[in-house]
Amino acid sequence: MASLYAESDLFKKPRGAPDGASDILSAEGVALSLISRFNEKQLPRASDLEWLVSEEDAPQALLPLPKSLPISPDDYEDCPVTPLRGTQEWAPPRPQIIFTPHPRPRRMQLMAKQNYRCAGCGMRVAPQYASRFRYCDYLGRYFCTGCHTNQLAVIPGRVLQKWDFTRYPVSNFSYRLLEQMFVDPLFRIFELNKNISKRSKNLVLSRKYRLGLHYMKDFVMTCRFAETIQDYLENETPYLLNDPEVYSMLDLVNVRSGQMNNRLKCLVEMCCRHTSECELCLARGFICEVCDDSHIIFPWQLRNVTRCSKCKTCFHTKCWKSRNESCPKCIRLYNRRNS
């Protein structure tokens, strides 16, 4: 204290001290005395300071940021960051539609690709126990016995490519997924496999029936004399009549068993009988403009009739080919617009 204060300062009240402060040696008194000593001095500028070690001799680097930060569980719900699926070694299966069958599996190679983990729960297994895992024919992965209980299901890829309706063992995840999409119209089978018609005559016949009903419904559903047939058509699934190229797995199973074709055949015969006898439906039919035959033709007569894709007019197939597939009505409308 002797180096900082004169003897007279030890017994007098410091400037700015509050009233009643009698102890000069209190913390407040010492602080006020130190401030009063440096009031007349100025702080040095940064350029005047001389560092012991220059930045060139000891270059500075940014501290590494941590890869993860602990957060409160209460703050996690409002966090905008999307969590990753699984880890770097494993990710849970996701719902997907597989249109092709998997190649024959090689257990050890496939298990090595899976890092010897179950594809369902991520449980790790020693290589010597990999033989206990079970293969899922839909996802093409191996699962533990907890995630794969040997449930059987029809595999869409085998149906679409090989017309194979055998039930194969699948994981619990795949079984639930296949059950959910069993009745959904997801498969344009003739686009996915152009040679599928060679494997099933029933499939070709069902396509013919559905295409015919697709054209017939435009006549029958607007005819006031076809209320009974309209009730039958309304009971059918809408996509069967509106989109004849799409199928669900249930439809394909029914096509194979012949159940769908029997039902569609009855509807086609019922609609054909009505349109051939109803005056309103006959009035909406077509007369071939090429041969001028008085016999009325309809678009669902697929064997003998061709329909123009632009104006939807119907012609005899032989007459259509004789004109090199040029529609006289389209030509007439084109000339009328340009005249």
Q: Are residues 224 and 296 in the same domain?
A: no
Out of 149, 180, 211, pick the residue that ends a domain: 180
Does 14 reside within a domain? no
Note the pLDDT of residue 165.
95
Q: Are residues 205 and 161 in the same domain?
A: no
Note the pLDDT of residue 72.
66
Where the chain has pLDDT below 50, the residues are 1-3, 7, 10-11, 14, 17, 20-21
Q: Are residues 228 and 151 in the same domain?
A: no
Note the pLDDT of residue 38.
74
Q: Token match 């012949």: residue?
A: 258
Mean pLDDT, the chain, whole residue set: 84
Residue 114: domain span: 107-180
Q: Are residues 278 and 290 in the same domain?
A: no
Q: What is the CATH number of the domain that holds 321?
A: 3.30.40
Q: Are residues 201 and 123 in the same domain?
A: no
Q: Are residues 279 and 290 in the same domain?
A: no
Q: DSSP strand E in the chain: where?
A: 134-136, 141-143, 151-154, 167-170, 305-307, 314-316
Does 32 reside within a domain? no
Q: Are residues 121 and 133 in the same domain?
A: yes
Out of 260, 283, 306, pick the residue that ends a domain: 283
Does 186 reside within a domain? no
3-state secondary structure of 315: strand
Does 38 reside within a domain? no
Q: How far apart are CA 185 and CA 248, in angstroms?
A: 4
Out of 245, 262, 283, pick the residue that ends a domain: 283
Does 94 reside within a domain? no
Q: What is the CATH number of the domain that holds 138?
A: 3.30.40.10
Q: Domain total for the chain?
A: 3
Note the pLDDT of residue 21.
47
Does 156 reside within a domain? yes
Confirm if 137 and 102 have CB atoms less than 8 A apart.
yes
Q: Is 163 left (phi over 0), alpha (psi -120 to 50) or beta?
A: left
